[in-house]
Structure 1
Amino acid sequence: MRDLRAFTLAGYDKGRGLLVQALWFAVLNTVFMAWFTPARLRVALLRAFGADIGAGVLVRHRVRVLWPWKLTVGDHAWIGEGAWILNLEPVAIGAHACVSQEALLCTGSHDHRAADFRYRNAPVTVGEGAWIAARATVLAGVEVGRCAVVAAGAVLHRDLPELTLHTADGRRRPVGEPV
């Protein structure tokens, strides 16, 4: 039986103080996610809050990033409308990778076996040239290999080798193989 009163933030480091966290949330919810904010300004705001962002990165509107200082994005990567980077732990997105519309990169979860429901967090890595398609979810501790594809609506809970397609029904095949 869970005892949620026993839950604590033990072992979870947000990485910045309360003032910086509050300032980021204010910027995130007023300017960063807005449709009228130019993509270049979104990139500049992420960098200003500590993200390591490469050249030519495109960040569309309605993107949510929990903690920018725990985000690394390689050159010419794309992050699509409504994507959610729930990075309690570091997220690395490789060069020329694409995180499509409403995709979720989730580095946090809870230990369902523990009565106190403690965190079970781990980083997420999206390899160079990989594609996380629309509404796909990549869970904590997963590494998506170079040029791999997580299909639309798929949930990925274990590493995906390079040049591999993970379908919404959980099957895997080489990227170039016909569907």
Structure 2
Amino acid sequence: MATSGLVVTRWWCPPTIRANILRAFGARIGRGVNIRHGVRIHWPWKLTVGDHSWVGEQTWILNLEPVTIGADVCISQDVFLCTGSHDRRSPTFEFDNAPITVGDGAWIAARATILRGSSIGSDSIIGATALITGAVEPGSVMLGPLATRYAQREFRL
């Protein structure tokens, strides 16, 4: 946590050094990966990122279980990948966790949320602010919520 807070998440830490520090803590990071500043990774040893992928500013990877990101993936700013949850029916509120997989060539747009047990198929697009709770077929386009017609008319420029 200290290394992450003092070095890895800072804007002045070059992406190559950031990737090397994450590797030192057990992350499997491919060649040419660009992990931008402000990215939070809960447990580096449960993270795999394929070659030439990009993880945008302020992304949070809460990986209580493994997160696997393929090659040539773009994860935009403020994305939340969350492998953890709780069993609300359990009297002890036990964990109900599951891994997340993002296939090669996928694009997850700004502020999207990917929840536990989700798999994003190769070459899929997850739109800005979308909420994903399961499997997305390869080549799919999943959009986030749209503004209402009233709001669209009201705020036209």
**SS of match in other structure, 2:135:** coil
1:131 paired to 2:104: no
- Identify the residue that residue 83 of structure 1 maps to in structure 2: 59
CA distance in structure 1 between the aligned counterparts of 2:82 and 2:108, rounded to whole angstroms? 13
SS in 2 for 1:88: coil
Tell me how far apart the structure 1 counterparts of residues 143 and 133 of structure 2 sit (CA, whole Å): 12
* 1:34 aligned partner: 10
RMSD: 1.0
Deviation of residue 169 (structure 1)? 2.9
Residues 1-179 of structure 1: pairs in structure 2 closer than 5 A:
25-169=1-145
Task: Give unpaired runs (5+ residues) of structure 1.
Answer: 1-24, 171-179
Determine the C-alpha separation between the residues in 2 that align with 1:27 and 1:134. Answer: 26
TM-score by length of 2: 0.91
Q: Deviations over 1:96-120 (max 9, x none)?
A: 0111101011000011121211100
Deviations 1:58-115 (A, max 9, x none): 0100000000000000000000000010000000000001111010110000111212
Query: In structure 1, how many angstroms separate the alpha carbons of the residues matched to 2:89 and 2:109?
Result: 31
Count of equivalent residues: 146
CA distance in 2, matches of 1:117, 1:132: 30
Q: Within 2, Cα distance between the matches of 1:156 and 1:169? A: 12
Q: Is the 8 A contact 2:35 2:56 kept in 1?
A: yes
4+ aligned runs moved over 6 Å, structure 1: none
Of 107-116 and 50-59, the range deviating more from structure 2: 107-116
**TM-score with structure 1 length normalisation?**
0.80
SS at match of 1:105: strand
Kindly provide the amino acid, as one letter, of the partner of residue 110 in structure 1: H
CA distance in 2, matches of 1:113, 1:132: 31
The aligned counterpart of 1:15 is none
The unaligned stretches of length 5 or more in structure 2 are 147-157
Identity of aligned residues (%): 51
